[in-house]
């Protein structure tokens, strides 16, 4: 048992580390360690650990016998919280399964319950435990950034890390919302959107100046002082001062009209129209709310949808629907509470969060978010007024999004049942892999694998294979397929061989792409009997011939979609009815594999086309290559240069000059 932690002054937590709030790792204990005794049950293991747990806040982890984290939880008192798992009976099926699977537990004590909550959210996102509510969020939010460090700041879309020298406005719910706002702001404030390198290279105004979408500070069409004024106005607009700016522009337009300066009046008119346009396309704009995020949760059919609306500077900056992975036993408030702590783990938090449901630990969550954000954060469920209307609007959107998702999921499930029937599978496939190759006369050959799961295409599982074999005849599709299948399934056996055991007959199929396993239930080969046989040979060599179902898809006569022939090992070919939904589904899979293969091939070919001969010289990096090209002009001139000329280049030593000369002359360059 670990010793008591030393007393120390309260410290500000370092939020960058997963164990930021860890005061001490108490212990962990594995089942079956006691001198060869039979492995203890999950309940017995938990009962043993409870005796030594402190009445202190912290985080606990439940792990199975393979070391995988099953659940991460936080507690005001670790002893009391873990004791609740030792009671016989009264648990939901989810908790009962979790207790039975527990082989060990790990504990981390923290200074406060707030720190425990923040650490719990961090660990859940990093470890993705099976029995927790999991936020499936693989995309960062886009922002608008103003590059203040430049003498003529530009306005751009931004994702990722931020610099202190720049102003960021957001988050926006989608890249499209950012693009629309920037386009409108170009018309309203005439701010540049070109890169700094383009800005420095301009000698005359570009087309954007001609169509009145940029004031062209690059060529001095506007003074930097006047341009700075436009930048200040754009920031004020993004900060919610839109009405002040519109009133100012209206006054300028009237003054220009009185002075008969109709050209300047027209510019003001166009800028006013652009401001009105961007506000008109923001949907609901609150009258009494300056900054808030609105969350609404809906449940139906075993699925949960959380709809988020972002309001900043009194403007609606879009919304996004999330479908967190959660057991059906979780109630809507429980899902919402777990979702919120994970959602703000890596995002800025507004001053106000409005919810559709009351959550059990709203005060604790508000305190934790305030700690992370550095300012006071309020969490509330509005009962009346405009705030309640905003929550109701978010709830309606959540219900609609959930309805669409359920319809899509139902359709996908029916299609997978049809696939199982068409290809003689015992059950609907949870993971379908489709393979295709792409090349031009054997050059830049690329193999591609796409994956489809319960929710459609699982793009996180896609893989590409650069064909490496030097013994292949150019254009040998069968040889390429053999290489791709060998590499794919040899690695699969090595990394996931212990997961080959098939699903039990009574085990439900996964209902999300996150839950699909590494092994495919069906492999589709884009090609006829020859490609299928080549893939089958590899499977036989690896001992998988009778363990994975395979099929080939051959294009119909004249490559006519709808007349495809399907091949199964050892069986005659067949066709599906022209209007069969399963046929359309398989066509989409085949077309997606083709698209992915073509895209990978083009990217590789483009890289080869722009490859510089200097890249092949050992020891030549970007700096030396730049020096050589500046001195000689082209790589061809470098290859023909005399040794004395190479030595005269700044940054090229005598030894390096000799290496370059030898590469192009002795090596037959």
What does 60-100 look like in DSSP terms, one character per residue?
EEEE-TTS-EEEEEEESSHHHHHHGGGSSS---HHHHHHHH
Please tell me the predicted confidence (pLDDT) of residue 435: 93
CA-to-CA distance for 188 and 179, rounded, in angstroms? 14
* CA atoms within 13 A of residue 93's CA, in its CB half-sphere: 3
Residue 123: both structure tokens together: 């660990």
Residue found under tokens 């049809």:
418
Give me the mean pLDDT over the 270-277 stretch. 69
Q: Is 46 exposed, middle or buried (0-12, 13-18, 19+ CB in 10 A)?
A: buried
Tell me, what's the pLDDT at 286? Answer: 66
Write the DSSP symbol of residue 211.
T
Distance of alpha carbon 635 from the chain centroid: 40
Query: Residue 27 — very low, low, confident or very high, per pLDDT cuts 50/70/90?
Result: very low
- Rounded Cα distance, 294 and 354, in Å: 5
Q: Which residues lie closer than 8 Å to 427 by C-beta, 6 or more apart? A: 420, 503, 505, 509, 521
| pLDDT of 557 | 62
pLDDT band at 611; cut points 50, 70, 90 = low
Q: What is the pLDDT of residue 501?
A: 53
Of 211-215, 249-253, 377-381, 415-419, the one with minimum mean pLDDT is 249-253
What integer pLDDT is reported at residue 26 of this predicted model? Answer: 43
State the chain's mean pLDDT as an integer: 80
Greater confidence (121 vs 316) lies with 121
Express each pLDDT in 253-263 by its tens digit: 878 777 787 77
Structure-token match 């005399």, residue found: 642
Residue corresponding to tokens 């004020």: 236
Specify whether the CB–CB gap between 235 and 152 falls below 8 A: no
pTM for the full model? 0.61
* pLDDT for the residue numbered 29: 44
Q: Residue 169: in which H helix or E strand, if any?
A: strand 167-169
H-helix or E-strand spanning residue 436: strand 432-440
Q: Which helix (H) or strand (E) holds 411?
A: helix 385-422
- Describe the chain by its helix, strand, coil percentages, rounded to 5: 45, 15, 40
Question: Rounded CA gap, 127 and 326, in Å?
Answer: 15
Query: Which pLDDT score is estimated for 456?
Result: 84
Q: CA torsion sign, 41 to 43 to 47 to 50?
A: positive
pLDDT of amino acid 263: 73
Residue 525: what pLDDT?
92
3-state class of 493 per DSSP?
helix
pLDDT band at 354 (very low <50, low <70, confident <90, very high): very high
Most confident of 176-190, 283-297, 475-489: 475-489
Domains recognised in the chain with CATH numbers: 24-127 (3.40.1440.10), 143-280 (no CATH), 292-404 (3.30.420.340), 423-497+515-600 (3.30.420.340), 613-665 (1.10.150.20)
Task: Return the percentage of the chain with pLDDT > 90, whole number.
Answer: 13
- Residue-wise pLDDT for 621-668, tens only, equals 878 888 887 888 777 788 888 888 888 888 888 888 888 888 887 644
The residue with greater pLDDT, 556 or 300, is 300
| Predicted local distance difference test score (pLDDT) of residue 520 | 92
CB 177 within 8 A of CB 208: no
The pLDDT of residue 522: 93
């Amino acid at each position: 048992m670990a010793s008591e932690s030393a007393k120390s002054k309260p410290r500000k937590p370092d939020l960058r580390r997963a164990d930021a709030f860890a005061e001490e790792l108490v212990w962990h204990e594995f089942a079956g360690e006691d001198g060869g005794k039979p492995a203890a049950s999950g309940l017995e293991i938990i009962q043993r650990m409870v005796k030594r747990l402190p009445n202190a806040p912290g985080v606990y982890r439940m792990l199975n016998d393979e070391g995988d984290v099953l659940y991460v939880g936080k507690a005001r008192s670790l002893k009391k919280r873990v004791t609740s798992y030792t009671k016989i009976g009264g648990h939901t099926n989810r908790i009962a399964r979790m207790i039975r699977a527990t082989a060990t537990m790990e504990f981390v004590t923290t200074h406060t319950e707030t720190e425990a909550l923040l650490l719990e959210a961090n660990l859940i996102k990093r470890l993705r435990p099976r029995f927790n509510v999991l936020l499936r969020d693989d995309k960062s939010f886009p922002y608008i950034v103003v590059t203040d460090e430049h003498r003529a700041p530009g306005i751009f879309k931004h994702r990722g890390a931020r610099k202190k020298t720049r102003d960021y406005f957001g988050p926006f719910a989608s890249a499209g919302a950012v693009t629309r706002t920037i386009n409108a702001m170009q018309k309203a404030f005439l701010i540049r959107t070109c890169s700094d390198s383009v800005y420095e290279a301009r000698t005359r105004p570009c087309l954007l100046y001609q169509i009145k979408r940029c004031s062209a500070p690059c060529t001095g069409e506007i003074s930097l002082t006047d341009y700075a004024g436009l930048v200040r106005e754009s920031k004020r607009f993004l900060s919610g001062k839109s009405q002040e700016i519109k009133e100012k522009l209206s006054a300028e337009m009237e003054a220009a009209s009185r002075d008969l300066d109709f050209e300047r009046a027209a510019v003001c008119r166009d800028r006013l129209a652009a401001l009105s346009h961007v506000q008109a396309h923001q949907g609901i704009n609150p009258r009494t709310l300056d900054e808030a995020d609105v969350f609404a949760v809906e449940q139906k059919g075993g699925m949960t949808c959380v709809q988020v609306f972002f309001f900043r500077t009194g403007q609606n900056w879009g919304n996004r629907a999330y479908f967190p992975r959660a057991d059906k036993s979780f109630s809507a408030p429980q899902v919402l509470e777990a979702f919120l702590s994970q959602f703000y783990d890596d995002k800025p938090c507004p001053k106000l969060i409005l919810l559709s449901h009351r959550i059990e630990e709203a005060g604790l969550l508000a305190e934790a978010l305030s700690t992370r954000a550095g300012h006071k954060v309020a969490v509330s469920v509005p009962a009346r007024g405009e705030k309640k209307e905003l929550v109701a609007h978010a709830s309606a959107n959540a219900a609609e999004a959930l309805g669409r998702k359920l319809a899509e999921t139902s359709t996908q499930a029916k299609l997978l049942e049809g696939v199982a029937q068409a290809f003689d599978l015992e059950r609907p496939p949870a993971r379908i892999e489709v393979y295709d190759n792409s090349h031009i006369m054997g050059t830049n050959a690329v193999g591609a694998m796409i994956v489809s799961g319960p929710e459609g295409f699982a793009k996180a599982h896609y893989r590409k294979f650069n064909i490496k074999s030097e013994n292949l005849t150019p254009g040998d599709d069968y040889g390429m397929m053999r290489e791709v299948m060998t590499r794919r399934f040899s690695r699969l056996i090595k990394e996931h061989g212990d997961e080959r055991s098939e699903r039990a007959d009574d085990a439900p199929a996964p209902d999300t792409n996150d839950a699909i396993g590494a092994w495919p239930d069906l492999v589709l080969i884009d090609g006829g009997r020859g490609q299928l046989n080549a893939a089958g040979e590899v499977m036989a060599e690896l001992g998988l011939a009778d363990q994975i179902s395979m099929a080939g898809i051959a294009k119909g006569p004249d490559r006519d979609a709808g007349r495809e022939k399907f091949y199964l090992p050892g069986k005659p070919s067949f066709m599906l009815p022209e209007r069969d939904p399963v046929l359309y589904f398989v066509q989409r899979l085949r077309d997606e594999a083709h698209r992915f293969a073509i895209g990978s091939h083009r990217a590789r070919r483009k890289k080869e086309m722009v490859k510089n001969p200097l890249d092949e010289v050992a020891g030549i990096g970007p700096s030396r290559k730049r020096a050589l090209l500046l001195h000689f002009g082209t790589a061809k001139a470098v290859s023909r240069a005399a040794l004395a000329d190479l030595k005269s280049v700044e940054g090229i030593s005598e030894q390096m000059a000799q290496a370059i000369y030898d590469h192009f002359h002795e090596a037959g360059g």
